[in-house]
């Protein structure tokens, strides 16, 4: 695919990239304390896509970090995490959408990750129906309490924090720089992120 090697995802917006099997995708938080909502699907069969719920089932865990795999709705690996500076993510709640801000905050015109992801899809010229439950909330500091509640803590990572994913298939990948500014998830200050697509470096070389 002919595309830039690096794509900046502006604050409160969405962008997309193509990643080939075996390539690395770096997701970088440029300013720190930012969450990115990620959706991916197989280029040769869009009916197969990254599925957070299947990932939980396949891993028997809601935790993800270096060495973890992320799975599709057919239980095939989509990514392996080969570097993770944060090792704290959310994979149990859907991304924010129009209905979230309308229901929870009474806001009819607030930006949301589902809209950002649709923006990224449209900029790529892709045609794929998106749903909030397809999104993996990268760097999001949600935790489950002993009583079963879900609490959102402020993201604590600094500028330059990176997660590197090795693709197991040829993929379309979308990322939203989450616009949520009414909970602590982005430290109340949404900022930009970066996607970098690259070939795997030979062993012994710095990436």
Nearest to 70 by CA among 82, 78, 60: 78
Residue 204 is assigned to a structural domain of this protein:
no
* pLDDT for 182: 93
CA distance 76 to 82: 17
CA distance 142 to 120: 25
Quote the Cα angle for 94-99-102, to 5°.
130
Tokens of 145: 């309490």
CA distance 19 to 22: 8
* pLDDT for 156: 85
**What is the tally of structural domains in the chain?**
1
Share above pLDDT 70 across residues of the chain, in percent, rounded to a whole number: 96
Beta bridge partners of 151: 143
- pLDDT tens per residue, range 106-120: 999 999 999 999 999
Cα torsion for 161, 68, 15, 17, to the nearest 10°?
A: 110
DSSP H or E run through 186:
none
CA distance 166 to 164: 7
Residue 1 is assigned to a structural domain of this protein:
no
* pLDDT for 205: 47
* pLDDT for 4: 75
Residues of the chain with pLDDT under 50: 202-207
Residue 203 is assigned to a structural domain of this protein:
no
- pLDDT tens per residue, range 68-107: 999 999 999 999 999 999 999 999 999 999 999 999 899 9
Residue 206 is assigned to a structural domain of this protein:
no
Residues 9 and 176: beta-carbon distance below 8 Å: yes
Residue 142 is assigned to a structural domain of this protein:
yes
* pLDDT for 3: 78
Whole-prediction pTM value? 0.93
Nearest to 163 by CA among 21, 57, 50, 36: 36
Residue 207 is assigned to a structural domain of this protein:
no
Structural domain boundaries, residue 183: 6-198
Tokens of 147: 């009583």
* pLDDT for 204: 45
Residue 86 is assigned to a structural domain of this protein:
yes
């Amino acid at each position: 695919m002919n595309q830039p090697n690096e794509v900046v995802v502006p604050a409160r917006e969405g962008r997309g990239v193509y990643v080939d099997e075996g390539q690395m995708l770096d997701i970088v938080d440029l300013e720190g304390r930012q969450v990115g909502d990620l959706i991916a699907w197989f280029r040769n069969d869009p009916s197969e896509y990254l599925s957070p719920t299947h990932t939980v089932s396949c891993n028997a865990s809601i935790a993800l970090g270096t060495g973890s795999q992320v799975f599709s709705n057919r239980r095939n690996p989509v990514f392996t995490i080969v570097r993770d500076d944060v090792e704290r993510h959310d994979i149990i709640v859907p991304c924010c959408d129009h209905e979230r801000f309308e229901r929870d905050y009474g806001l009819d015109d607030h930006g949301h990750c589902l809209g950002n992801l649709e923006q990224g899809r449209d900029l790529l010229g892709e045609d794929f129906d998106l749903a909030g439950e397809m999104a993996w909330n990268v760097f999001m500091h949600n935790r489950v309490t002993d009583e079963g509640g879900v609490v959102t803590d402020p993201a604590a990572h600094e500028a330059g924090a990176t997660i590197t994913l090795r693709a197991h298939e040829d993929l379309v990948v979308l990322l939203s720089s989450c616009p949520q500014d009414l909970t602590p998830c982005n430290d109340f200050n949404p900022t930009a992120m970066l996607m970098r697509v690259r070939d795997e470096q030979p062993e012994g070389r710095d990436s």
